[in-house]
Amino acid sequence: MHALPLVLTAAVVLAIAYRYYSAFLAAKVLALDPARPTPAHTRSDGHNFVPTNRWVLFGHHFAAITGAGPLIGPVLAAQFGYAPGFLWLVIGVCLAGAVHDFVILTASTRAGGRSLAELARQEISPRAYVLCALAILLVVVIALAGLGLAVVNALRDSAWGTFTIGMSIPIALAMGLYMYRFRKGRIAEATAIGVVLLLACVVLGRTVSETPWLAPYFRLGKVQVTLAMAGYGFVASVLPVWMLLCPRDYLSSFMKVGTIVFLALGVIVVNPRLHMPAFTPFVHGGGPIVPGSVFPFLFITIACGAISGFHALVGSGTTPKMLDKETDARMIGYGAMLMEGFVGVMALIAATALHPGDYFAINVGVEKFAALGISPVNLHDLEAQVGETLAARPGGAVSLAVGMAQVFSGLPGMRGLMSYWYHFAIMFEALFILTTIDTGTRVSRFLLQEFVGRAWKSFGRVDWLPGTVLSTLAIVAGWSYFILTGSISTIWPMFGIANQLLAAMALSIGTTVLVNGGRQRYAWATAVPMGFVVTSTLAAGFLSVRDNFLPLARSADPAKASQGVVDAVLTGIMMVCVVLVLIEAALAWARAPRVRAERAALGGAAYAGAGGGPAQPPAACC
């Protein structure tokens, strides 16, 4: 099997879905109105609420939602073969993931930029708010740890990669000042300068890594990379969005979209053979990377590429506060998620183009690989070409970079540049992840301030610096702890379960928004994917606790035992929270006729729903 048919099939299906299904959602389900003012205008403050050009906001939103999930997840799921992952990526993103993102972004925008937890309180019940807030805080800390660990594994002991990623920060700061202070509105100029400088840093990185007196400053260990990343996450969360977060994400999005398009063109030209079969024997379980069977573990392994609950935090966090027009939500909410699904397809192709022996040699430890009874094919040649040790580098990031580098090196005139393409791919992956780290930390800070602010009013003000600093420190400390104490085998399964449970929760809120807004005839658009995600994720959660976390808790090693206990307890808490929120949502659906009547009497039939009405509710409603 060659890659070209998969690329063309995915591109056609995604284009049809955007043209027709997103148009249906915009016109019928959500009834978007370009004349309805958004909170970026009604609450403009130049700091968090800022009307933003839709292309710039698309870049920020795409960069924020596209972390490690659509890159690492499909690579790890390749152990099942290319067919299961491809089908879920293409079908899931059109009918579940993009719908999820679109609906939550619209609902939050109409509710004044409220967070997901506030939407739960407003649309379902105060109990749902508490449960949702607790679940979100746990999910975010685990999710950022899972994403951050991929960065740590990719950058540790790599002066080339660390230098390139580190330089993206001052470049982004310069872009922000250029676009918003020195030459306002000159987006194209700032973009061209930023992209050229970033590419120059990729090339210069080799010189830095080979300079004896300079390389040690950028060759960092696990703890050092984690602390550096924590410092970046803190600063990006505290500074105004226009200064660092938005321009850096915008710059990253150009690199991301450009790389994915280039990779797609490379796949079309090179048309690599997929050496991994359509289905491997591991679809029935017992795989060396993902221990369970294809159902339900495929759906928590791929996670973000098809549907991601983390996106609901961005869609109810920074993005609705910067949306210029309500109709922009279609391109930004639905369109950006389709792009992420295509990223997942490209990652899957790059990984499955490796020989199974090379793929497993990179992604599992030496002992596990020896037990498989297969041999590497090109691994030693690949190590010589990239100048790095590739064997036993689990986590998916390295095997993806090797697969991408193979495709790029197969293009005419590109032979002999394998090492540059490999490190370019590492930078590409790290950019994906770090943009989620900064936005995720900021969104979590908003949520924590909102939650604590109910008891401590000053803390809830986003313009109060002590509250901003304390909340950001708490979030950064949480995900940094899990990175320093965990591993990809313990964090990634928890990340997948947490992420999909949050998606189920967000879909239940979205369904309630539609029902309360008088659009119950279209509630199937969110209810059907919600049912599937709930079923598959709760099953995966139960099996993970029973078969993975509890046996780990009984380990003779105290560190592993404590890790197993923590994993089992946190997974159980998240599962219980989601089930209780679903029960609360079902009760809210039963109350919906009365709620609609009350809102109509107050002058706003569906202020936060999909059916129109004022953008903000009367104060008495809250």
- Helix pair 488-516, 126-155: axis angle to 10 deg: 140
Q: Which amino acid is at 550?
A: L
191 part of a folded domain: no
Q: In this structure, how many other beta carbons lie within 10 angstroms of the beta carbon of residue 285? A: 14
What is the reported pLDDT for 525?
A: 95
Residues 6+ apart with CB under 8 A from 178: 186, 189, 190, 193
For the segment 524-534, what is each residue's pLDDT rounded down to a tens digit? 999 999 999 99
Euclidean distance between CA atoms 536 and 579, whole angstroms: 13
Euclidean distance between CA atoms 598 and 421, whole angstroms: 60
180 part of a folded domain: no
For the segment 418-449, what is each residue's pLDDT rounded down to a tens digit? 888 888 888 777 776 777 777 778 877 877 88
Q: What is the mean pLDDT of residues 606-614?
A: 42
Which pTM does this prediction carry? 0.83
Cα–Cα distance list, 321 to 57, 108, 296, 318, 332 (Å):
10, 9, 36, 5, 13
Q: What is the mean pLDDT of residues 257-265?
A: 82
Residues 6+ apart with CB under 8 A from 586: none
Q: Give phi and psi for 323, each to the nearest 5.
A: -70, 120
Long-range contacts of 205-214 (CB under 8 A, 24+ apart): 205/159, 205/160, 205/161, 205/163, 205/164, 205/423, 206/160, 206/419, 206/420, 206/423, 208/159, 208/160, 208/163, 209/158, 209/159, 209/160, 209/163, 214/159
83 part of a folded domain: yes
Q: In this structure, how many other beta carbons lie within 10 angstroms of the beta carbon of residue 333? A: 31
What is the reported pLDDT for 454?
A: 77
Structure tokens at 343: 């990223």
Q: Is the dihedral of CA 357, 361, 366, 368 positive or negative?
A: negative
Residue-averaged pLDDT of the chain: 84
Euclidean distance between CA atoms 506 and 571, whole angstroms: 18
* Percent of the chain residues past pLDDT 70, beyond the cut: 92
Euclidean distance between CA atoms 474 and 234, whole angstroms: 10
51 part of a folded domain: yes
123 part of a folded domain: yes
Whether residue 79 contacts residue 213, with contact meaning beta carbons closer than 8 Å, is answered with no
Give the gyration radius of the chain's Cα atoms: 23
Euclidean distance between CA atoms 321 and 245, whole angstroms: 14
Residue 349 pLDDT exceeds 80:
yes
Phi-psi region of 452 (alpha: psi -120 to 50; beta: other; left: phi over 0): alpha
Task: Report the number of distinct structural domains present in the chain.
Answer: 1
Distance, CA of 373 to chain centre: 35
What is the reported pLDDT for 612?
A: 44
CATH of the domain at 312: 1.20.1740.10
Helix (H, G, I), strand (E, B), or coil: what is residue 214?
coil
> Minimal CA–CA distance to 66: which of 496, 429, 502?
429
Cα–Cα distance list, 442 to 88, 99, 176, 232, 490 (Å):
30, 24, 18, 12, 25
Q: Give phi and psi for 114, each to the nearest 5.
A: -65, 150
543 part of a folded domain: yes
548 part of a folded domain: yes
* Percent of the chain residues past pLDDT 90, beyond the cut: 28
For the segment 285-315, what is each residue's pLDDT rounded down to a tens digit? 888 888 889 999 999 988 788 999 888 988 8
Residues 6+ apart with CB under 8 A from 286: none
pLDDT band at 513 (very low <50, low <70, confident <90, very high): very high
**35-65 as b/e: b if 16+ CB within 10 A:** ebebbbeeeeeeebbbebebebbbbbbbbbb
Residues 6+ apart with CB under 8 A from 346: 7, 260, 263, 264, 267
Q: Which amino acid is at 488?
A: I
Domain hosting residue 243, numbered range? 4-157+220-593
> Minimal CA–CA distance to 329: which of 15, 12, 40, 616?
40
> Minimal CA–CA distance to 544: which of 610, 492, 503?
492
Structure tokens at 320: 């609705």
Phi-psi region of 219 (alpha: psi -120 to 50; beta: other; left: phi over 0): beta
93 part of a folded domain: yes
What is the reported pLDDT for 104?
A: 94
